[in-house]
Amino acid sequence: MALLEGKIALVTGAARGIGQEIALKLASEGADLALCDVKTEWLDETKAKVEALGRRAEAYGVDVSNGEQVTAGVAQVNKDFGRIDIVVNNAGITRDGLLMRMSEEDWDLVMNINLKGTFLMTKAASRFMMKQRSGVFVNIASVIGLMGNPGQANYGASKAGVSNLTKTTAKELAARGIRANAIAPGFIKTKMTDALTDEVRDAMLAVIPMKDFGTPEDVANTVLFLSSDLSRYVTGQTLSVCGGMVTS
């Protein structure tokens, strides 16, 4: 039997990259998918790939930083599927710049999507999970939120907040049968890393003990573990998927 047979999973930022890989991994283990992104047309590719695996997929246009859209979107997902078992808060952006040059607009935008968005989605979905007395949240944080990084004050602060929000969520909702964990990816192979110069790539690899970049599938596999009963007794944790960059 598949690990997530009969489960309903909601994934934000599911249109591409790590979000798409997460959606496909959960579908491959039996979950039906509610796919969320800012525009539904961005989700066409992910939706088609999930359906090719024989699972149901529905697309929802949701701006995770907008409370009204989140509340309405989550309610619609619950109505369409009948329940919500797993929420993966993956939507996130960067607006990098040195602290002294960073605009308020770039600070607010990153915080609103990365941290406020996770809060809003958790609050909205937990109402339905509490009624069914079961559910799992997997929040995508970052090693930058654990260790800091020059030029990423807004991103690092938002992801540190995601890790702490996860701990609080876990403590508040454990008695209702709801678990919450976070994943802190390190340097993951993407189109962005493919475009880096050899010098920059070598500098990044130098701080990774395993001397290799991670892949979106590495993150998705960890999401699968935390979404399934394999992690039944794990909650309130931030698990680094970083090749050893962060060890505590």
The residues near 41 (Cβ < 8 Å, ≥ 6 apart) are none
Q: Which of 93, 176, 107, 92 is nearest to 139 (CA)?
A: 92
CA separation for the pair 4, 29 (Å, rounded): 5
Q: Are strands 86-89 and 135-140 parallel, antiparallel or unpaired?
A: parallel
CB 89 within 8 A of CB 137: yes
CA separation for the pair 96, 18 (Å, rounded): 20
Which are the catalytic amino acids?
Answer: 155
Instruction: Let me know how long the chain is.
Output: 248
Chain centroid to Cα 114, Å, comes to: 9
Cα dihedral 129→133→139→145 (10° resolution): 120
Q: Which of 43, 42, 7 is nearest to 27 (CA)?
A: 7
CA separation for the pair 210, 104 (Å, rounded): 37
Buried b (16+ CB within 10 A) or exposed e, 155-190: bbbbbbbbbebbbebbeebeeeebbbbbbbbbbbee
